Chain A
Amino acid sequence: MRVEVSDLASFREAARGLLVRGVPPDKVLFTEERERQASLLGADTVASSAPVAGLSVPPAFLDLAERVACHRSPERWGGLYRVLWRLTHGERKLLEVVSDEDVYRLHTLAKAVQRDAHKMKAFVRFRKVDREGEEYFIAWHRPDHLIVRHVAPFFARRFPSMRWSILTPDASVSWDRERLTYGPGVPRSEAPEGDALEEMWSTYYASTFNPARLNVRAMRAEMPQKHWATLPEARLIPELVRGAPERTAKMVRPRMEVSDASLYLPEHQDLASLARAAHGCKACPLHERATQTVFGEGPVDARLMLVGEQPGDNEDREGRPFIGPAGQLLDEVLAGVGLDRQQLYVTNAVKHFGWMEGDEKKRLHAKPGRREVLACKAWLEAEVRQVKPRMILCLGATAAQSFLGPGFRINLSRGQVFETPWAPAWMATFHPSALLRMPDERARAQARLHFEEDVRRAAETLRAMR
């Protein structure tokens, strides 16, 4: 027996008639009404709208049927009728056995519909157009199943104060702030292109993506590619994916601001060539007033690298780092913990003396600014690359900040050993000249103690790393 149905209502009517006449499922073939033209045989008429006593079905069935009816599969009516038959023929609790083959099949259809409906709620993108001076929102969407009527009320609840239409190839729906009106399917070409806000949305989409967690498979599973065509943000995906490794690398390493001195780096970067090239460095204005470049010195295989701030007056005249009063203090403390200056590599974060005019034409040390430190950083990094020290000891905040940026605070973090990209052990402590300059005697003594303690810890750390 052949029965034609077009939607859930006509199925219910037909099914009621079949049940009353006691037609078992294997004797019925359901066909879609829109296929009628192709059929030569007229379909049997079984419609019955009269309520039938004793044919009540659990509400859960109607709920399930509503979703199943949205599925495109032509088998859905047959499947529904089979379960309906069994429910009314002694298996009233059948729906609870979700692992039953017939029930399971209906659930599979319902699930596909539900997923499709969910995707529609998620991936409809309205575009604003102007209609006679009024805002109007239009979206084009391509669902897998016949879900427009099923999902439209959701949009009416969500956007009650807007006028909108959702167009799909099978059906369309509009909301005029009062009621929903359904219409025929609409091709994509009739939908508006673009919306002023799409650029803003794309900006958001790109910024909220964390390249360190790239996982394209998960994205594709949730956002099937067939929907990408109507998602403005999807255009960015290839570029975001391509750029992710590089962006991640930048996140893992400190952001490289380009140091101006890198223009002066020689082709061969052994220490001697570096020192020679540094003598011609004009990457920042400091070279103009200084006598000469004071480059680092020490053996290329030094295990400990000391980094100071900047050469002083004496260093500027002699051309060697740490030879003034601060250098003497440093030597003393180093010797105290058994470190031989000859075996260390000693350098400064900034290689030219910076000064101001003082009384009687004395040259007064002027602390380098962030610009000079950054400009000169290429030299320091080249030295680190050559020497590959096991440990770096930064003397003073400027040296430490040259590595870690302006946020580093000596008072909070001095004396702690950190693992860094530059050396397995990295520590910062006071600058020896700070110890000489402190006006308060007690503070000076205190700082000196801390300084000695830090240098001792550095020496111990180094020894432990053998």
Chain B
Amino acid sequence: MDVRKKLEILADAAKYDASCSSSGGKRKAGKEGLGSVEGMGICHSYTPDGRCVSLLKILLTNFCIYDCQYCINRISSDTARARFTPAEVVQLTLDFYKRNYIEGLFLSSGVIKSPDFTMEQLVEVARTLREVHGFQGYIHLKAVPGASKELIDAAGRYADRLSANIELPTDGDLKKLAPEKSFTVTGETMKEISSRVAQSKAEREESPKAPKFAPAGQSTQMIVGATPTPDATILDTASRLYTRFKLKRVYYSAYSPIPIVDARLPAKSPPLVREHRLYQADWLLRFYGFRVDELAPPEHPDLSLEMDPKLAWALRRRESFPVDVNRAARELLLRVPGMGVRTVDRLIRIRRWHRITLADLARLRVPLTRVKPFIVTADHRPTLLLDSSRLVEKVKPAPTQLSLFTAAQEALTGEL
């Protein structure tokens, strides 16, 4: 099989993985080397699904000895199989990088023979790129849950980011659909990564020459909608992962029907909006000081599909408003629907010199119709009573604004 055919199969098989961004870390090639990583990643292209192409995202092989029911690579699936040699992946990465097609490599793999055997191959690709070719582009490696500490350590030396996928939101879901996997084993791998990341950070504070370990941290992916588990549980799992293992990102991937369906899975995908609502809620948890039970309380364990989770929260908690933009503390301003972290920080700086008016907000591109009922400015006090039943109608975004794109942008910037 030629490399192009393999690429076709092994890129196709990798497209269900949501984690593809390349931000974080800093690397610079030496005179004979190739590549750099400078903070924010670059998306080099966009596919017609609106998602960016920033990395060469492929599997080393799509053959897998496991039988996770939602996954097209599972042993019992009769999809076309292919397997790259590490040398082929190295060559492709270098060739693509030199033409500025990509920021680097995201390499994952089906589990072949054993977790260790698989991990060894992934590490070999990264090692060759870094040590033989002086490659300083971004490398994201899949950490195969259950691989030995030594291999995880080696992987972190070469990679910018590692990810062990949690796959499903509860252990029960895993038992049902991915019998070979468990939270315990994946958790062990995550713990190893997070403690090595912390250790290397500490060492580098002592001496900046100490070796880096996965400087862009670790992330994970959770498939959403393959089981009936509600958003509250999903967010709970995510927030525990953030605190316990200091994850950089949890990626939510709406379950995508795979070509050879298993009757135990839904034949349709969940609405993509759900995925975006989860990303929005995730931001609110990490950067806005919200708790899971505020966003998805027991009486509403699923996020609203019609409006973003912050707006939904504000409508449930009308008594907390209006908030005075010229006086209120940062934490309170962050809870105003339509005002993001960046806006709030700017407002706090501006109000030291100047009383904030609606015109200021407009110039900061704050969506005024949405925000007005919730705030007081130098020239505005909400006239619409917050308990008016028309409020919901008034602030709810029009259906056209509900496009995935808007939601995706919000998810990226965190401006809610």
Interface residues of A (CB under 8 A from B): 93, 96-101, 104, 118, 121-128, 137, 139, 154, 157-162, 177, 195, 197, 199-201, 203-219, 221-223, 231, 233, 237, 240-241, 244, 250-255, 403-409, 413, 416, 418-421, 426
Contact = CB atoms under 8 A, between A and B. Distances in A.
Contact of B48 (A177, A219, A231, A404): A219
B195 interface: no
Given A204-B11, A208-B11, A406-B76, 20 more contacts: A93-B352, A97-B349, A122-B42, A122-B43, A122-B44, A128-B99, A157-B38, A158-B34, A158-B100, A159-B98, A160-B29, A161-B32, A162-B98, A207-B11, A215-B48, A217-B50, A251-B257, A404-B262, A404-B263, A407-B78
A219 B353 CA distance: 40
B8 interface: yes
B100 A126 contact: yes
Contacts, number: 219
B50 A421 contact: no
B47 A209 contact: yes
Contact of A254 (B38, B75, B260, B404): B260
Given A177-B31, A407-B260, A128 B98 contact: yes
Given A124-B100, A126-B99, A207 B12 contact: yes
A137 B101 CA distance: 13
B51 interface: yes
Contacts of A139: 100
B34 A162 contact: yes
- What interface size band does chain B fall in? 35 or more
A426 B261 CA distance: 14
Interface in B5-33: 7-9, 11-12, 14-16, 28-33
Nearest to B272: A213
A200 B7 contact: yes
Contacts of B353: 93, 96-97
B50 A213 contact: yes
A161 B34 CA distance: 6
Contacts of A160: 29-34
A416 B49 CA distance: 36
A47 B223 CA distance: 64
A193 B78 CA distance: 40
A96 B49 contact: no
Contacts of B50: 213, 215-219, 222
A154 B38 contact: yes
The 4 closest A-B pairs by CB, nearest first: A407-B76, A218-B50, A215-B50, A207-B11
B354 interface: yes
Nearest to A200: B4
Contacts of A101: 363
A148 to B, nearest CB: 15
Nearest to B364: A99
A424 to B, nearest CB: 12
Contacts of B363: 98-99, 101, 104
A221 B269 CA distance: 25
12 contacts: A96-B352, A97-B349, A123-B45, A157-B28, A159-B34, A161-B33, A161-B134, A200-B92, A207-B12, A213-B50, A218-B46, A408-B76
A35 to B, nearest CB: 31
Given A99-B350, A217-B403, A126 B98 contact: yes
B170 interface: no
Contact of A223 (B9, B45, B257, B269): B45
Interface in B193-222: none
A127 B99 CA distance: 6
Given A160-B29, A207-B15, A215-B404, A123 B46 contact: no
A158 B29 contact: yes
Given A125-B99, A212-B269, A221 B405 contact: yes
Most buried by A among B30, B32, B261: B261
B30 A207 contact: no
B261 A254 contact: yes
Interface string B288-329: 000000000000000000000000000000000000000000
B56 interface: yes
A205 B45 contact: yes
A284 B133 CA distance: 55
Given A215-B404, A219-B47, A405-B260, A197 B34 contact: no
Nearest to B32: A161
Contacts of A201: 96, 99, 101
A161 B29 CA distance: 9
A407 B66 CA distance: 12
Most buried by B among A124, A195, A222, A255: A222
A101 B360 CA distance: 9
Contacts of B92: 200
